[in-house]
Chains A and B, each alone.
Chain A
Amino acid sequence: EAGVTQSPTHLIKTRGQQATLRCSPISGHTSVYWYQQALGLGLQFLLWYDEGEERNRGNFPPRFSGRQFPNYSSELNVNALELEDSALYLCASSPYPTENQPQHFGDGTRLSIL
């Protein structure tokens, strides 16, 4: 069974640009989560999508947004990139409901802002 897949592996952007990160969940999983792992800040919850709807978001500005497609894959968009957006962005998936289900993570996309 294929795990969570993320693309691209690495992404280099400059300040002010926009970045799009992609995630395909494990087959049968309807929930997709996004986390940011920035140096010194640990793993921070960004967004949760289920059945195409945004169910919850963390304490991030609106320039972090995303969507979930009918096939349950997801995109994370970051607009007006800032230097502090440099981080590893991890996507996870789980079946719904969520509290007791482990979230299974992909390898991440490393976003570097120059």
Chain B
Amino acid sequence: AQKVTQAQTEISVVEKEDVTLDCVYETRDTTYYLFWYKQPPSGELVFLIRRNSFDEQNEISGRYSWNFQKSTSSFNFTITASQVVDSAVYFCALSEANRGSTLGRLYFGRGTQLTVWP
């Protein structure tokens, strides 16, 4: 079963629009970590944010904000006033804290391709 689901494959917006990228995760662990990464066309994955399962506070960093809701197992990412430079593939990822076979690995969603048009 997919541990991280990003249902939106592609999103297109016009510059200055707000856009929300959805992420739903599945885990049996009580301690886990959620991440968002950005992959521009050049290919490297750029770390954006980490959130642990005990901290449900929303976070804002400039034009970026994240909404973590354990009740719905979601960790959504909103870009306010989008810009052309935001165009990239965005990945949500899960890390589990148990010491078994999942140790060390990030489980990634399939990614959402965001295109921001001028």
On chain B, the number of residues with a Cβ less than 8 Å from chain A's Cβ atoms is 27
| The stretch of B64-72, B74-82, B103-111 that contacts the partner chain | B103-111
Please list the residues of chain B having a beta carbon within 8 angstroms of any beta carbon in chain A: 31-33, 35, 37, 42-47, 50, 52, 91, 95-97, 101, 103-111
CB distance from B1 to the nearest CB of A (A): 14
Residue in A closest to B6 when the chains form the complex, CB atoms: A42
Chain A residues lying within 8 Å of B106, measured Cβ to Cβ, are 33, 35, 43, 45, 103
Q: Which residues of A contact B103 (CB under 8 A)?
A: 48, 55-56, 98-99
Is the CB of A108 closer than 8 A to any CB of chain B?
yes
CA distance A31 to B50 in the complex (A): 18
* Those 9 A-B pairs whose CB atoms lie nearest each other, nearest first: A48-B104, A105-B45, A45-B105, A43-B108, A99-B97, A107-B44, A102-B47, A56-B104, A42-B110
- Given A42-B110, A42-B111, CB of A98 within 8 Å of CB of B104: yes
Main secondary structure of the interface of A (DSSP, over half): strand
Interface range, A side: 20 to 34
On A, residues with C-beta under 8 Å from B are: 31, 33, 35, 42-43, 45, 48, 50, 55-56, 58, 88, 90, 92, 98-100, 102-108, 110
